[in-house]
Amino acid sequence: MIVIQPKTGKLPKLSLIFLHGLGDTGHGWAPVMRMLASVLPMVRFILPTADHLPVTMNNGFRMPAWYDIYSLDRNAEVDKAGMEKSVDLVKQIIKSEHSAGVEKVVVGGFSQGGVISLLTALNTSEHLAGAICLSGYLPYKPERTLATHVPIFMGHGRDDQVVTFEYGKRSFEELMKMGLTVTFKEYHNMGHSASEQELDDMVAFIRTFIIDDHADL
């Protein structure tokens, strides 16, 4: 797990746990988070790496994955057990940050990581300041939602051919029906990736919904 400490040199009052996508590691997003640290100097960035799992969609090839994927078809069966295991891992990190004196925790991620961030936001009793989902989706509607007060940012490329834009948009609409506060941004000429504009919007989300609401941060 990679941890990027706040540039202030002080104990952070806000930590961002960011989860990578399928086949990646925490190292893959480290350069991006170090860049964001320059504009969010009060934030600690935590980048876990998923265990290596056999992924059915990839002929059982083992790779870092937060859960198994059986098919890209949105109507396919999902690995709820694997998802719940990863959510439990994130909950442990959130609890650890609170125990260390960090007042606010945000969970975010890209693709698979974004899926886990959404499920964590919906299923944790731990206090969560916000959630971020980049190029992700809501795989299923939880039987119960523990936290409807958590603000969520979702970003999705119009040209995404892995997790289609339509799937991301429908997930946003489903979250809205559940009563959550969700900001959804779409990006033209962007596939299954992130862009500078999306990262700028993510930073603006953190500042507007989280930092600005707590001036002492």
Q: Which helix (H) or strand (E) holds 165?
A: helix 165-177
pLDDT 10s digits, 32-89: 999 999 999 999 999 999 999 999 999 999 999 999 999 877 788 999 999 999 999 9
Tell me whether residue 159 is one of the annotated catalytic residues: no
| 55 neighbors 22 (Cβ within 8 angstroms) | yes
Among 98, 127, 192, 193, the one annotated catalytic:
192
**Does the pLDDT at position 215 exceed 80?**
no
Domain extent listing, the chain: 2-211
For the stretch 73-115, pLDDT in tens is 778 899 999 999 999 999 999 999 999 999 899 999 999 999 9
Residue 197 in contact with residue 168, Cβ under 8 Å?
A: no
Q: What is the largest CA-CA distance in the chain?
A: 50
Distance, first Cα to last Cα, the chain = 25
**71 is a catalytic site residue:** no
* Tokens 């959510």 belong to residue: 87
Instruction: Tell me the per-residue pLDDT of 156-197, one tens digit each, with 9 for 90 and over.
Output: 999 999 999 999 999 999 999 998 999 999 999 999 999 999
Choosing from 15, 86, 111, 117, the catalytic residue is 111
Confidence band for 8, pLDDT divided at 50, 70 and 90: confident
Residues forming a β-bridge with 107: 17, 131
* pLDDT tens-place string over residues 120-141: 999 887 789 999 999 999 999 8
Second CATH level (architecture) for the domain 2-211:
3-Layer(aba) Sandwich (3.40)
pLDDT value for 144: 67
The question of whether 160 is a catalytic residue gets the answer yes
Q: Select which of 24, 68, 79, 160 is catalytic.
A: 160
